[in-house]
Amino acid sequence: PFLTPQLREAALRTIVEPTFAALQSEGIDYRGVLYFGLMLTSGGPKVIEFNCRFGDPETQVVLPLLDSDLLEILQAVHRRTLGKLRLELKPAHAAAVVLAAGGYPDAYEKGREIRGIPENRDDLMVFHAGTRREGGLLLTNGGRVMAVTALSEASLQAATEKAYQAVAQIHFDGMHFRRDIARRAWKV
């Protein structure tokens, strides 16, 4: 929601295009996912990190909106025919809330029982990250424990509210999460 046409153009012109030009100038035939971790500053978008993988948790709101076959997309990238594909997105909005363990991002707690996880549906998904099973129990095992992603055709606000309703069902000792996901975008 914050990606204006001007900001998109600035990121492409000052970061994305120069990055691929540099790869080409080094003789690198890069084919695959290249994640640009960006931060918006008063001086425009700046790079925090590059990753040769999908971003986490960003992908957890992007892929559920994808209405095209991901395998076909990846094969087209490999074959250099991506420009021939028409990428389709669902007519929906997505929001994800990350649930973190007590102490995260510093020394986080492990081994806390997780209860109340809702069933996955077409419009609601729980993505496990720092979890493990032991003795029939689901336990925390990392700083970012899981993310709850919700979809809504109505609005971003409706998707966000649906995600928070699902989060309210989940419990583990020390659980914390941001309570302002997408709120600024509701006013856009």
* In CATH, 1-53 is 3.30.470.20: yes
The rounded distance, in Å, linking the Cα atoms of 142 and 146 is 9
CB 143 within 8 Å of CB 105: yes
Q: What is the DSSP string of 15-50?
A: IIHHHHHHHHHTT----S--EEEEEEETTEEEEEEE
Assigned superfamily of 93-186: Phosphoribosylglycinamide synthetase, C-terminal domain (3.90.600.10)
pTM: 0.89
User: pLDDT (tens digit, 0 to 9) for every residue of the chain, 188 residues total?
Assistant: 577 899 999 999 999 999 999 999 999 999 999 999 999 999 989 999 999 999 989 999 999 999 999 999 999 999 999 999 999 999 999 999 999 999 999 999 999 999 999 999 999 999 999 999 999 999 999 999 999 999 999 999 999 999 999 999 999 999 999 999 998 887 65
CA-wise closest residue to 40 among 6, 71, 80: 6
Domain boundaries, the chain: 1-53, 93-186
